[in-house]
Amino acid sequence: MGANLRRLRWVCTSGCADAIKCKSLMLNFLQPVLETALDAVVAMAPDGTVAAWNAVAEQVFGWTEAEVLGRPLADLIIPQQHREAHRAGLERYNRTGRETILNRRIEITAVDRAGREFPVELSITTAPDRLLFIGFLRDITARREAEARLQRQAREAQLLFEVASLATSTNSFEDALRACLNAICDLTGWPLGHALLLIGTELVSMSVWHDDTKGAADALREATEQIRFTSGVGLPGMVLAAGEPIWIADAAEASQFPRKGLGLGAAFGFPLKSEGRIIAVLEFFTYDRVRPDPELMLVVRTLGEQVGRVLERKRTEDHQELLLHELNHRVKNMLSIVQSVAMQTFKGAAPREAIRTFETRLGALAAAHDLLIAENWEAASLQEIVSKAGLGCGADRDRIRTEGPELRLHARAAVSLSLALHELCTNAVKYGALSTEGGRIHIAWHIVHDGTRLCLVWQEQGGPAVQPPQARGFGSRMIERALAAELGGKVELHFLPEGLRCVIEAPLPAEDR
């Protein structure tokens, strides 16, 4: 095309004074471009009329060349809202030569013969002596649709991730419902969303709403509260009856949409299910009439499945909690029976002190169970274990100093350590640092060996002078052997003159490292 235009300039400057003839010559030279260009090519005269129109332009805009030649271009392909600006720009260029869009590639909209407005990519250049404006136009509808589809898919993936993440982290069914409403309204651009919970055979309106235009849903909310949504009644009832998403393209004309007269155009709803049963229905509204969107229905179905899992998990956790409390109750009952049997067994045959020791050991075991039940029998805080062991043997809290990082021990280790600490504390009250007024106990723990092992040190101070025992009693054997075995580590008792020192070292669970 550049060679043709250079040749036109030579022709026009070699003595031709007739603008009409020059224009005709230009069109003749442009003919190969018009015939071979893959884009729509439109030539416009300075007065705004069509001077040339290729075959691709006929396909794109629906007008034949014979129908458009000599007619104002603005009346043919320029949208109504842009025509005045087009005429003003053309007049300014003819008068001043000042241009704003020549020799650039821009994206605008055009209209075809049927009045359809669609996006086009446009570049405009001028022929020599400004006798013609030549525009190259490409319909980019498919490209825009592909870009919009990619953006929507990316947004869908993001929203699915956000709702799925919330579904795995929250125990609040209402929070999950609200997040789902917000996500779908964000995805669709629809302003109103609402949740209804299935109670018995009726869908009951919840206080969970999405309202983009604060207050716009007031009339809808009031109308919703007046209706009993049972199977088949209104949009929620239709969803309940079908067990599938329902779309209403024109709410004003739908016979099964009782909330008419509120200016709503379209609506859709879908069920939330848990273990295959409907537990709630989400419904959405917009003020425009909108045809069903099958792709959107697939997305909202997936979102609904994620929210339904929140309730499934909550029910499972509630059931586990009930079982744990029932187990704890039975264990404590069993300990009471053991205590009663022990008392009957020891009656008349054992000193009262032995019975009291046995009872306190059972009490320490029960306290450890209570602590673990509060933590769903998964793990317990080391600080809590130490505190309960001291209080359980009647020690003054001010005389036991503790220090160490926050750590959690698994259930088996927690019970064993609780019993061992109780034995140490009981021994300190009877014979050690807590048996005298000025005695103190320091319990400290830290992590050693590159964070893989726990070291806990029990140190008594200010009590009676300590001498190593001639024989090891039950308590000592339990601490040194049983505790070491349970923890998978080692326990050392040092009977130092200034006070008993117990060093416990054990591997940390992998999750605590």
Q: What are the pLDDT digits (tens) for 180-211?
A: 788 888 878 889 999 998 888 899 998 888 88
Predicted pLDDT at 362:
62
Domain boundary among 122, 139, 156: 139
Reply yes or no on whether the pLDDT at 45 is more than 80. Answer: yes
Confidence (pLDDT) at 346? 62
Neighbours of 91 (CB within 10 A): 12
Tell which of 312, 341, 370 closes a domain. Answer: 312
Q: How many CB atoms sit inside 10 A of residue 142's CB?
A: 9
Taking residues 311-336, report their average pLDDT: 58
Asked if residue 295 belongs to a domain, the reply is: yes
Give burial (CB, 10 Å; 0-12/13-18/19+) of 213: exposed
Q: Of 290, 312, 334, which residue sits at a domain end? A: 312
Report if residue 349 sits inside a domain: no
- In degrees, rounded to 5, the angle at the alpha carbon of residue 213 between the alpha carbons of residues 211 and 215 is 75
User: What residues make up the domain containing 56?
Assistant: 2-139
Whether 133 and 156 map to the same domain: the answer is: no
- Do 412 and 484 reside in the same domain of the chain? yes
Q: What is the pLDDT of residue 130?
A: 65
Asked if 134 and 170 sit in the same domain, the reply is no
- Residue 364 is assigned to a structural domain of this protein: no
User: Is 269 within the bounds of a domain?
Assistant: yes
Q: Mean of the per-residue pLDDT values for the chain?
A: 78
In terms of domains, do 305 and 413 share one?
A: no
**Ordered DSSP codes for 283-327:** EEEESS-----HHHHHHHHHHHHHHHHHHHHHHHHHHHHHHHHHH
Taking the CB of residue 159, how many other CB atoms lie within 10 A of it? 20
What is the reported pLDDT for 311? 62
Q: Model confidence at 5, in pLDDT bands (50, 70, 90)? A: very low
Please count the structural domains in the chain: 3
CB contact at 8 A, 110 and 78: yes
Q: In the structure, what pLDDT confidence band is assigned to residue 322 with cuts at 50, 70 and 90?
A: low
Classify residue 209 as left (phi > 0), alpha (psi -120 to 50) or beta: beta
Do 165 and 71 belong together in one domain? no
Are 118 and 171 found together in one domain? Answer: no
Tell me if 25 is assigned to some domain: yes
Specify the pLDDT at position 239.
92
217 has pLDDT over 90: no
> 76 and 150 share a domain?
no
pLDDT confidence of residue 475: 64
Q: In terms of domains, do 134 and 259 share one?
A: no
Q: Could you report the per-residue pLDDT of 368-381, keeping only the tens digit for each?
A: 556 545 444 456 77
pLDDT band at 399 (very low <50, low <70, confident <90, very high): confident
Question: What's the confidence (pLDDT) of residue 340?
Answer: 55
Range from 245-249, 300-304, 407-411 carrying the lowest mean pLDDT = 300-304
Task: Determine the average pLDDT of the residues in 303-322.
Answer: 63
Two structure tokens written together for 254: 């739908």
Instruction: Give dist(CA 380, CA 367) in Å, integer.
Output: 12
Whether 126 and 237 share a structural domain: no
Residues 166 and 95 in one domain: no
User: pTM of this prediction?
Assistant: 0.42
In single-letter form, the type of residue at position 333 comes to N
What's the CATH number where 235 sits? 3.30.450.40
CATH of the domain at 437: 3.30.565.10
CATH number, domain containing residue 116: 3.30.450.20
Residues 6+ apart with CB under 8 A from 2: none
Query: Both 128 and 149 in a single domain?
Result: no
What letters, b where the CB count within 10 A reaches 16 and e where it falls short, cover 306-343? bbbbbbebbeeeeeeeeebeeebeeebeebeeebeebe
pLDDT at 443: 92
Q: Is residue 410 part of a domain?
A: yes
The rounded Cα 163 to chain-centroid distance in angstroms is 4
Q: Using one digit for the tens of pLDDT, what is the confidence trace for 225-267? A: 999 999 999 999 999 999 888 999 999 888 889 998 888 999 9
Give the pLDDT of residue 500. Answer: 92
- Tell me the mean pLDDT in the region 387-413: 76
Does 245 reside within a domain?
yes
From the list 84, 86, 82, 96, the residue with the least C-alpha distance to 130 is 96
Overall average pLDDT of the 94-111 stretch: 84
Whether 80 and 213 map to the same domain: the answer is no
Has residue 439 been placed in a domain?
A: yes
Task: Give the residue with greater pLDDT, 291 vs 509.
Answer: 291
The mean pLDDT of 83-92, rounded to a whole number, is: 89
Q: How far apart are CA 302 and CA 162, in angstroms?
A: 12
DSSP codes joined into one string, 230-280: -TTSHHHHHHHHHSS-EEES-TTT-TT----SS---EEEEEEEEETTEEEE
